Structure 1
């Protein structure tokens, strides 16, 4: 196998840098008409025929010889069996990662609160977990037990009553690591269905699959399209784009380390994006040499090659200050600050899904076991979005209790504003509660 890279080289000093960068970053998660219509047909079939449609689609798309929905249900005993089928080393790694993820997310829990004003009026916020969450997990050989931990554990920490997992088993391939992760994370029910049909089942419910309040987890274009369509019926986490990494380096980190950090995201798929920004042109040359040297040693070399050649870049900047400006412009999913004093630059980072500080903190640690969530905003959405967390599985309700005096005082203000909006019933409703006055 012959692989070679021709990674793009950009310079922030060039007059057309902004245009080239915009072109490099552009990515559209748009389904074509055929995919869109197919997904709509699947959703409608599941809504109309429930379990029967799930069985039919699983036979057709996954090649599974299921005779009834019972063949697509895994109980808790089966998840516990998976723990015995993986190696002790794998189990230890899963349990250690799960524990770290749980400890981190425990700190995100939000509590209800109230305060009382001088006149006795009570205001506050009631925080309530979702009743039920649905977790989509890709299946088959290309499956990710780490994603099970990252999606299910925050839900459980939030206090979600039931976590329902759907995972396809193409051609009957069951990934024991995924099931073991589900067991450790506390997943309550598992259905071996996937694709748009699984999303539809979670959103609308069937005779066997319970309707959920929110669907989280990654999937292919059919899954992403289905999540778009059911949003509003249920909540969703996000429509995620390809994985991304942006490394900002001062030129003093081992170039082999940086090359492998870029590979760690490029190996996900051909559309993944790996970018290095540095003020040191000679260092960019050394990293380019490391890329060429190390690429032939990679198991997923062809995928990495296409990713690096298609969407990767080495960007030269004037100085570290400009490197930070470029990072904020890109708003990456993963940002590595591979510099001598990352803490000094942290206050200037405004847009990033996760920030990896220092030369020894590889993005891969965050993917598996550091503790923070690896479900992160992509495609520049870190400008307004956050990592998946406990807060995604909690709702907030406002609490308002007015004392007699408080209702009277607020009634004057509400009356003026309501009448200003020509909403007389609003005004009179408030005026009835004003002391010593009658609304007429």
Structure 2
């Protein structure tokens, strides 16, 4: 006899369906519950930095490094190339203006000088010969002029005498005309001789002037050549200390090559490197300060080098007021370069929070100090120590300024001690 098999109410398929529906309901409910409230995270206070908002003096500045340099440096370059023949002093010597430092030898330059001296001597000799010839020629012309004057006077005397005798009918016409022709000839001859003498004088003067100009030019060239040879002895241009000397006996130096420098040690300046990001905010007169020992010293920008190299440019700063007694050339100083005047502002210490928030919000502690919640803020200027708070915080507020790397999207921190 067949037996009726009762159908089971809780089979595997039904159980799995009910479990799936329950999981979906729980997930949706959890999501609603999660989004409807604030996400919280427990944080150990020993692992975070809590800072207090305070009102105080604020100045926008940047930290820069400066190198102490002599207030004036004169570079020594080789005016002419040559081989180092002799060194008169060593690096570090205190020099007086005009004191010799080293001597270069250049046989080509010295040979050119000798040739130029020979040419000048030859021109001078030729000028003397030409002057003597011109003088002799002038003397000859003057003697000729004297003869012409004498002949003219004699012809004039005879002409006047014969004219009188002819009028008295003491001589014939032919003799009178001969005397008249001789007189006219001598007058014309005197005119030509005077003209020739004048032209000769002008020519002689022009020739002498041209030769003098040529001689003066060659003499000036000779003086220049002598100066170039004289520059083979390198001398100190001013009083100061010889430094960075780069020359050894036997070494060849090209024209314009750096030999060393003279540092004027009557004062110091500071050469400062600055990031090109600040180039539009740097101008003469900006102040800076540094601490040496237990004292603070002030500096002022006096010169700006606007050429940018490797993302940086340079400025020169000079001391304002007291100069440290212990300062030395080449010393590095850590300077605070002010970009604004000192003002009163609401301050928040710098910290790692800025990297995640961009200064738009911060975790602010509750009054009881047990939790910290997000608060919108607005920051303004900054320096290496502080941000300027413009909105969202007030004096006495406490905030978390350490890094927010591990907080994700948390809305609230529960502070545990």
TM-score of the pair, normalised by structure 2: 0.16
Task: Pick the structure with more helix per residue.
Answer: 1
More relative contact order in 1 or in 2 (CA 8 Å, sep 6+)? 2
Kindly name which structure, 1 or 2, has the bigger radius of gyration based on alpha carbons: 2
The TM-score normalised by the length of structure 1 is 0.16
